[in-house]
């Protein structure tokens, strides 16, 4: 069974799937047209499936459970961006765009479905294919897990990939891998500081929350530079500040929002604890009150070392050593694929295929002119199918 060769043979079908999906971008946990498209293709292939998350997620199954089960995951959601690519198959949904490559992920997973279904009788176990909503926000992996996608039968291994260039503009058609920490946890916070407002010409009579939150923000950055081990990665980014109504009025309250990224759960715990302590103590020193609302969203993507090595070896065998690149350091971007890796040993790959727009420039993910090179799609389909087939046949450590 040569999954890569077969993927190349059906390359036009994979590309067509991507283009059809690219036309109908949908957001978050409401993907009726996208789900209908995937569902229709699965029916054509006579692949059994069930829907979860109020009908916005699909779990397809190929093979028969014989003690081993592996899952392939593809996210399906788009972004609230007005597309400016001038592609012949650009978005037909105003203000929505597949600007992160999830249309390609879905198409590649459908390609893997086609290959595995053709060889179903040769599968020594069960393959589950997860078509997931809401990766961007609010997160679709956990709802799928909560509804049992990793059970009955239990998933032993899980694999996923991200196309484009999340680790920089690497050569098209190369596959990036990384053992252990690959992507950061993703948390968000809202910090409110309450003072006592009044006329800006008489600050001595009032309590200024703007000065207070400014002092807090300077101190928060020192958590990273002065309280963490320099070999541990973390960041605190304040991305919004709101407060005040006029140039000569000190407000009663100001508030801000931001994000925290870490690669280690102990560091994550420490940063949250210190943010609360610092905010409250500095606010008290300035006679204000601070309220920190800290929310944990996605954990860090931590790839299983042994399974990642197993997948890397397969990739090198079928693609060639020069097409398989070890990623030297993690990104502080987040991915809810991490939730699947909490349930089973897994690995997440980077399929590198950023493409220049008509103006000759290469645009990043989440940009209105983002595009990808479709010539790499068969690699994603073929590799995921090959890993699933071989794992069921021979297993991995």
Q: Exposure pattern of 300-318 as b/e (b: 16+ CB <10 Å)? A: bbbbbeebbbbbbebbeeb
Q: Is 253 a catalytic residue?
A: no
Residue 102 marked ligand-binding: yes
Residue 253 marked ligand-binding: no
Q: Is 363 a catalytic residue?
A: no
Residue 100 marked ligand-binding: yes
Question: Can you give the chain as a three-state secondary structure string?
Answer: CCHHHHHHHCHHHHHHHHHHHHCCCCCCCCCHHHHHHHHHHHHHCCCEEEEECCCCEEEEEEECCCCCEEEEEEECCCECCCCCCCCCCCCCCCCCECCCCHHHHHHHHHHHHHHHHHCHHHCCCEEEEEEECCCCCCCCHHHHHHCCCCCCCCCCEEEEEEEECECECCCCCEEEECCEEEECCEEEEEEEEECECEECCCHHHCECHHHHHHHHHHHHHHHHHHHCCCCCCEEEEEEEEEECCCCCEECCEEEEEEEEEECCHHHHHHHHHHHHHHHHHHHHHCCCEEEEEEEEEECCEEECHHHHHHHHHHHHHHHCHHHEEECCCCECCCCCHHHHHHHCEEEEEEEECECECCCCCECCCCCCCCCECHHHHHHHHHHHHHHHHHHHHHCCC
Catalytic residue among 298, 363, 389, 391: 298
Residue 199 marked ligand-binding: no
Residue 365 marked ligand-binding: no
Distance CA 66, CA 88 (A): 45
Active site positions, annotated? 298, 374
User: Residues annotated in the binding site for Mn(2+), as ranges?
Assistant: 100, 102, 136, 162, 366
């Amino acid at each position: 069974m040569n999954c890569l060769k077969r993927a190349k043979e059906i390359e036009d079908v994979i590309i067509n799937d991507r283009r059809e999906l690219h036309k109908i971008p949908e957001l978050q946990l409401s993907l009726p047209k996208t789900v209908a498209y995937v569902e229709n293709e699965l029916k054509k292939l006579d692949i059994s499936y069930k829907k979860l998350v109020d009908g916005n997620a699909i779990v397809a199954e190929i093979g028969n459970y014989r003690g081993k089960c592996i899952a392939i995951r593809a996210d399906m959601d788009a972004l609230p961006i007005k597309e400016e690519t001038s592609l012949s198959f650009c978005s037909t949904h105003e203000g929505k765009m597949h600007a992160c490559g999830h249309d390609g992920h879905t198409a590649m997973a459908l390609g893997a479905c086609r290959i595995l279904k053709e060889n179903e009788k040769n599968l020594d176990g069960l393959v589950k294919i997860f078509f997931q909503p809401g990766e961007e926000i609010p997160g679709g992996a956990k709802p799928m897990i909560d509804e049992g996608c990793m059970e009955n039968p239990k998933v032993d291994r899980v694999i996923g990939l991200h196309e484009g260039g999340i680790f920089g503009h690497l050569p098209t058609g190369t596959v990036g891998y990384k053992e252990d920490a690959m992507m950061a946890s993703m948390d968000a916070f809202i910090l409110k500081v309450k003072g006592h407002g009044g006329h800006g010409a008489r600050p001595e009579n009032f309590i200024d929350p703007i000065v207070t939150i400014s002092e807090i923000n300077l101190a928060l950055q020192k958590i990273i530079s002065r309280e963490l081990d320099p070999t541990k990665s973390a960041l605190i980014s304040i991305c919004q500040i709101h407060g005040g109504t006029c140039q000569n009025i000190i407000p009663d309250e100001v508030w801000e929002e931001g994000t925290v990224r870490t690669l280690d759960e102990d560091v994550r715990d420490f940063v949250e604890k210190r943010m609360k302590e610092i905010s409250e103590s500095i606010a008290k020193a300035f006679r204000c009150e601070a309220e920190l609302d800290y929310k944990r969203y996605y954990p860090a993507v931590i790839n299983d070392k042994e399974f990642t090595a197993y997948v890397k070896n397969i990739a090198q065998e079928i693609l060639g050593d020069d097409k398989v690149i070890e990623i030297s350091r993690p990104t502080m971007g987040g991915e809810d694929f991490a939730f699947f890796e909490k349930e089973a040993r897994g690995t997440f790959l980077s399929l590198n295929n950023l493409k220049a727009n008509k103006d000759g420039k290469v645009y990043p993910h989440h940009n209105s002119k983002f595009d990808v090179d479709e010539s790499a799609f068969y690699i994603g389909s073929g590799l995921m199918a090959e890993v699933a087939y071989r794992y069921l046949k021979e297993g991995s450590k």
